[in-house]
Amino acid sequence: MDQVIEFVTNHYILSGLFVALSVALVYTTVASQLSSLKELSTHEATLLMNKEDAMVLDIRPAAEFKKGHILGAKQIKAELVTKAEFSSLEKHKDKPIIVVCAMGMTAKRTASQLMKDGFEQVTVLKGGMNAWQGANLPVSK
């Protein structure tokens, strides 16, 4: 125990960084477990698409969408996402929606906005299109 105290007093910056990273790791783990927003793996997403006819909502820019997207995905313009304008999706309110972005990070914000607008079955593809293409799943151009 004395060695730990000596190390912390001699290397307080390194020890502080270790504590901060540990707290951040615990926070993100607990927050994701308690969040009402669910992240799906590529396997879970394909099951949801095939069994429950889930709609895939791609929020990437149009240029990236044209390079390759999930089969049957609907692309929404960035300005509509920033304004939280989802009136074009009203007819899909009762269907499961999988929100997809490039890496799975920005999709969380959009999915939260959709849930606030009354869409109940909203999920996010974990890892985004990078994970989809990494799993060698079909892409439409």
| 110 classed as catalytic | no
Rounded average pLDDT over 19-30: 91
Q: Give whole-number Cα distances, 91 to 61, 86, 87, 108, 119, in Å.
A: 23, 10, 9, 21, 11
Which range (33-42, 56-65, 67-76, 97-106) has the least confidence?
A: 33-42
Owner of token pair 């304008």: 85
Kindly tell me the burial class for residue 45, based on how many C-beta atoms sit within 10 Å of its own C-beta (0-12, 13-18, 19 or more). buried
Which pLDDT belongs to residue 41? 93
Residue partners of 17: CB distance under 8 A and separation at least 6: none
pLDDT per position as a tens digit, 82-135? 787 888 888 888 889 999 998 878 888 888 888 888 888 999 999 999 999 999
**Active-site pick, 49, 54, 56, 101:** 101
Which pLDDT belongs to residue 87? 82
Please say if the pLDDT value at position 16 is more than 90: yes
Determine the topology of domain 37-140 in CATH: Oxidized Rhodanese; domain 1 (3.40.250)
